[in-house]
Structure 1
Amino acid sequence: MVGLTALLLVPVAGCSTGPSEKDVATSFVNAVAAGDVAGAAAQTNNPDAARRTLEKVREDLAPTASHATLGQVTENEQGASAKFDLSWDFGEGKVWRYTSTMQLAEESEGWKVLWAPSVVHPKLQAGQTLAFSEVMPAPGPVTGSEGKQLMAPEPVVTVSFDGQEAGDAPRVAGQLADALRQVDPEITQKSIMDGVGKTPPGQPYQVITLRQADFDKVRSRIYDLPGLRFPTQMRLLASERGYASQVLAGVSKKVDEQVKANAGWQVAVADTKGNEISKLHTVAEKPVPPTSVTLSDQTQRAAEQALDPVPQPAMIVAMRPSNGEVLAVAQNDPADAQGPMALSGQYPPGSTFKMITGAAALESGKVRVDTPVECPPKKVFDGMTLPNDKEFDLGRVPLHTAFAASCNTTFAQLSVDMPDDALPKTAKKLGIGVDFDMPGATTITGKVTNAETVTQHAANGIGQGKVLASPFGMALAASSVANGSMPTPTLMRGQQTTSDGNPEKLSPAAMDQLRSMMREVVTGGTARGLAGAGEVHGKTGTAQYGDGKRAHGWFVGYRDDVAFAVLLTDAGASGPAVDVAKKFLDGI
């Protein structure tokens, strides 16, 4: 309950032995301020009409608090007049104050407020209400690293359906679904009616939000249907539907926060359907500045074009090793249907994780790139048989040769020979397992746990077992190798990325040797298909999942100041990922 102070400035003599005109006026404004509609209406000579108006006004203003102060009370020919100050608090410093007047008369039941809508506000009339609304500024455009505009504010139309106003709601829903089928085939009469059923009473169901061009296609068929409303607003949209959708969606949400922070607001007189009649109070919105992101339009388009022909979910993440700027986050349509998997999806990295196993072994000082290692066709680790791909046998070869050929038995043994925490520590030095708060995107780099058994050591060493990573995490690992230390990834310029730790660097000697092995993967190993694509360093990966009969295909690497990870789910082998990487590199 909100307290109210009554200030009696001019005494008025009353004839009644009941509550005085001052008492009634005090009770009325107290009840209005407290949101006690029934209590306020009971102080009037027309409780039903007062209750309806006060309920509607409070519903449409939806204040977080309200306050009232009774002022001057004077005699007049009708009986008495009382001035009072009302303030409506809408939160976040949005407060509307004004003075109103009520007339009171002594009737058979005692003093009553002579009800009229103008008691609530001097400009309010019968059949009207007061409505609060925010006035949103247009969002600023979003530009990429080359200065090209990636998103711009455009008008969108929301198709809202009020089942009660429609009358025969199922019939109208069927007509609406038929018309909208050309812009969204998934909308049906049933989906609309289900949505209406789940929407709180008195609120319209938002069926779909359309670009202006799409709305224009269906406007003639739906505009005159009963129960429909079509509010329009400005929203950030990419120039092409689907362009960088999984990353720009997060950027758009950050811009929306700025739009909200810069919003103006107003209170207006409106009819009972919400149509504005006149403004009573306005606070202007503030303009929203443009947003600059690190995405490269050329790199993003090259990634999307490389992925488009792939039938299964596939994705690419690219970033700049020298400073961590995210250059591209691309997914094809099947991947988009699963969500932002390039940024946060968790997959076994397979043999791409041999970058980490190799780095840990080199960092230990127990091996160098030219150290002879065994690469048998298969090997048993505590009862678990682990084979090479098609059980190839290299015999005894230098470490760099085993890496280029992706010898499972070699790297499983290297992992078994290292401490339980060697791989998690090394993975974190390259960024996998680090938790980032990067404005504009939610990311998960991956997870590498300590190995507790011999079999887990062996499986983790080749990126299977309990090792998981996202394409974002593997692109960061490649960036760390190229840069010599983990760069902090960024997406929105001027907004700082934070993390849960600052990993130590791998030694320059270990990094140099790892880079030379990654180069040999391309020049004479499992990624020879990229030999003509410039000075590419990388690692292929075939990652089994499920029952072990199916596998994802990976390629992770870098060229010049672009590091990237390519993942084709359920590809069966790494070859298709190498092919996609070639198309991507050719495009940049």
Structure 2
Amino acid sequence: MGNRGRAAERRKTKPAVIGGMIAVVVGGAGIGVYALYGGGAAADDGTTASASAGKKSPSVKTGPLSATEVTTAARTFLTAWQQGEVTKAAAGTDDSTAAASLLTGYTKDAHLKNVTLTAGTRAGDKVPFSVKGTVDFKGVSKPLAYDSALTVVRRAKDGKPLVDWHASVVHPDLQDGDTLVTGESGTPPVKALDRDGGELTTKKYPSLEPVLDGLREKYGKKAGGKAGVELRVIRGKASIAKKASDKTLLELSKGTPGTVKTTLSPGLQADAEQQVAKKARASVVLLRPSTGEILAVANTSHGFNTAFQGSLAPGSTMKVITSSLLIDKKLASADKAHPCPKYFKYGGWKFQNDDKFEIKGGTFKASFARSCNTAFISQAPDLENDDLTKQAQQVFGLSMNNWAIGVPTFDGRVPVQSQAQMAASLIGQGGVRMNPLNMASVAATVKAGTFHQPYLVAPSVDDRTLATASRTMSASTLSQLRELMQYTAAAGTAAEAMSGLGPDYGAKTGSAEVDGQKKPNGWFTAYRGDLAAAGVVQAGGHGGDTAGPIVAALLKAGG
């Protein structure tokens, strides 16, 4: 039969609904996708059948996608994927190489079979769909069901509608470069315990999900457990760079867990979870300055551990580190006069204070307590570009990427900068990035007098070497820094939140502006007795009003 005869025969065949997808039986070869472009069946080279037959190719189509184009592209891709026709499915995306690799692994490595894909209702260029299948590995099987979505885009060179390829199309927990693998888990499960010996579970403490994943990754093999069989997300290079942990999606058979003990306090962890739940996008860390033991960690959002791994401008809480630098260099002294003008120009930028206030004839202590930006910016001309970086690294143990707390962390970033960016760094903007763990450690260093690297699992468990600082503040600098923070807690911007917690206490508030965000991120770091804590409420507003009550409540509960 000639090509025209076969094409005619295909057009006469009635489409059948398979798993919610429109498909058509082609001869006896199985099931193929029924996708029309310009009235003809899609040819292998991406042109229409009529163009393949020698007719003039239509002009490249541009503009918004029609409903028909979106649903047709989605059905083409989903039907091919469902039938295991990887090459055809991948050809329906804008990155056929990456798509083919992940879709091949879906069957070969993830061991998924009997997959049914059912499209939902289109919303613009996006099509949601449900996935049902069975994970089958060495005679052990379990059903898997989840929802995903795809977006259709128009290819520039020929106008063809294609699926915008990302790994999340295959599973929403996948990031580009990640893979799905079923097998004996490389890391056995762990039973994590609090400091009193009680089991830590996500049911009791939802915030601990990423922490428990990190503990398993680090200690699964070392704790003496036996691996089970699981479907897991294995992180690729990009995800690893973000310190994302592998994730279990489905447990086919249980392993035997090993046991790892943490420093978390069950009561304070419960308090931390309750406190962050009162605010949207809140995170907090509580630790013990004398040892570095982490007593609680909590986030409103349970998917990403902002408290340990966030990378946010810390705003004026950074002035604790900057103040120690200025006092060390004799550029400021707690009770001596210090400038706090409305404005200060440096490096081509004009800096100002909140509400453009100024303090006439005030001391450095007054400027710190009221969080005067220009009091710090005005000292930039007398500083070297790397002074703040060295102070953060050498005294506070930050920005060296060498903390080993037991789970993944971001250890702060204070890059060497110049001109206006260097000046902005002095008030926690510019390129400076921190998280609540980092800033709790800053308050703890002031309280203890020296840096103790925070930790969640005792170093004796696996003979880890904890990070250290290369120098400590002088007795004079330390005394003045404590005076600044105590005065701020008693009579400055932190006074309302810290009311009733004195006299052995200190605090600093912060607000960090973020581009495209109406309200700043609110920061608060403080210590009381042998406790130190820091918190952030993203897009919450001023730190004293948002993060302050969270931190103060934990300091009170731990007292």
Q: TM-score, normalised by structure 1?
A: 0.56
Q: 2:204 aligns with which of 227, 237, 240?
A: 240
| Distance change (3 Å), C-alpha of 1:206 and 1:437 | farther
Shift of 1:288: 6.7
| Distance change (3 Å), C-alpha of 1:502 and 1:192 | same
Q: Choose 555-564 or 501-510, whichever is displaced more.
A: 501-510
RMSD: 3.7
| Distance change (3 Å), C-alpha of 1:264 and 1:399 | closer
Q: 1:396 is matched by which residue type in structure 2? A: G
Q: Choose 381-390 or 352-361, whichever is displaced more.
A: 381-390
| Distance change (3 Å), C-alpha of 1:331 and 1:394 | same
Aligned residues: 366
Q: Does 1:387 align with 2:370?
A: no
Counterpart secondary structure, 1:247: helix
The aligned residue for residue 385 of structure 2 is 420
Q: 2 CA distance for matches of 1:515 and 1:548?
A: 33
Q: 1 CA distance for matches of 2:143 and 2:222?
A: 24
Shift of 1:327: 1.0
The aligned residue for residue 399 of structure 1 is 364
The aligned residue for residue 287 of structure 2 is 319
| Distance change (3 Å), C-alpha of 1:191 and 1:504 | farther
Counterpart secondary structure, 1:379: strand
Q: Does 1:550 align with 2:522?
A: no
* Structure 2 unaligned residues grouped into runs of 5+: 1-109, 121-126, 147-183, 192-199, 230-254
| Distance change (3 Å), C-alpha of 1:402 and 1:240 | same
Q: 1:512 aligns with which of 459, 479, 485?
A: 479
Q: Does 1:460 align with 2:429?
A: no
Give aligned-pair identity as a percent: 29
The aligned residue for residue 546 of structure 2 is 576
Q: TM-score, normalised by structure 2?
A: 0.59
Q: 2:144 aligns with which of 207, 225, 233?
A: 207
* Structure 1 unaligned residues grouped into runs of 5+: 1-159, 178-187, 210-230, 266-285
Residues 458-485 of structure 1 deviation map (CA, whole Å, 9 limit, x = unaligned): 2111111111111111111111111111
Question: Are the counterparts in 2 of residues 438 and 491 from structure 1 also a CA contact under 8 Å?
Answer: no
Query: What pairs with 1:411-560 in structure 2 (closer than 5 Å)?
Result: 411-428=376-393, 429-438=395-404, 440-453=406-419, 455-493=420-458, 494-495=460-461, 496-498=463-465, 502-529=469-496, 530-534=498-502, 535-547=504-516, 549-560=518-529
Q: 1 CA distance for matches of 2:296 and 2:228?
A: 35
The aligned residue for residue 329 of structure 1 is 297
Shift of 1:377: 1.8
Counterpart secondary structure, 1:515: helix
Question: Are the counterparts in 2 of residues 307 and 315 from structure 1 also a CA contact under 8 Å?
Answer: yes
Shift of 1:499: 5.3
Query: What pairs with 1:283-302 in structure 2 (closer than 5 Å)?
Result: 290-302=259-271
Q: 1:360 aligns with which of 325, 332, 355?
A: 325
Q: Does 1:306 align with 2:245?
A: no
Question: Are the counterparts in 1 of residues 369 and 487 from structure 2 also a CA contact under 8 Å?
Answer: yes
Q: 1:579 is matched by which residue type in structure 2? A: P
Q: 2 CA distance for matches of 1:263 and 1:552?
A: 42
Q: Choose 464-473 or 487-496, whichever is displaced more.
A: 487-496
| Distance change (3 Å), C-alpha of 1:417 and 1:295 | same
Shift of 1:351: 0.3
Question: Are the counterparts in 2 of residues 163 and 204 from structure 1 also a CA contact under 8 Å?
Answer: no
Shift of 1:204: 5.6
Q: 1 CA distance for matches of 2:555 and 2:320?
A: 21
Counterpart secondary structure, 1:566: strand
Q: 1 CA distance for matches of 2:363 and 2:145?
A: 61
Counterpart secondary structure, 2:321: helix
Q: 1 CA distance for matches of 2:350 and 2:128?
A: 56
Q: 1 CA distance for matches of 2:270 and 2:228?
A: 37
Shift of 1:253: 3.3
Shift of 1:375: 0.8
Q: 2 CA distance for matches of 1:263 and 1:442?
A: 21
Q: Choose 430-439 or 531-540, whichever is displaced more.
A: 430-439
Residues 476-495 of structure 1 deviation map (CA, whole Å, 9 limit, x = unaligned): 11111111111022221323
Q: 1 CA distance for matches of 2:358 and 2:507?
A: 22
Question: Are the counterparts in 2 of residues 296 and 327 from structure 1 also a CA contact under 8 Å?
Answer: yes
| Distance change (3 Å), C-alpha of 1:421 and 1:344 | same
| Distance change (3 Å), C-alpha of 1:431 and 1:309 | same
Q: 1 CA distance for matches of 2:313 and 2:128?
A: 42
Q: 2 CA distance for matches of 1:287 and 1:201?
A: 19
| Distance change (3 Å), C-alpha of 1:572 and 1:480 | same
Q: 2 CA distance for matches of 1:254 and 1:457?
A: 37
Shift of 1:400: 0.6
The aligned residue for residue 409 of structure 1 is 374
Counterpart secondary structure, 1:372: coil
Shift of 1:547: 4.5
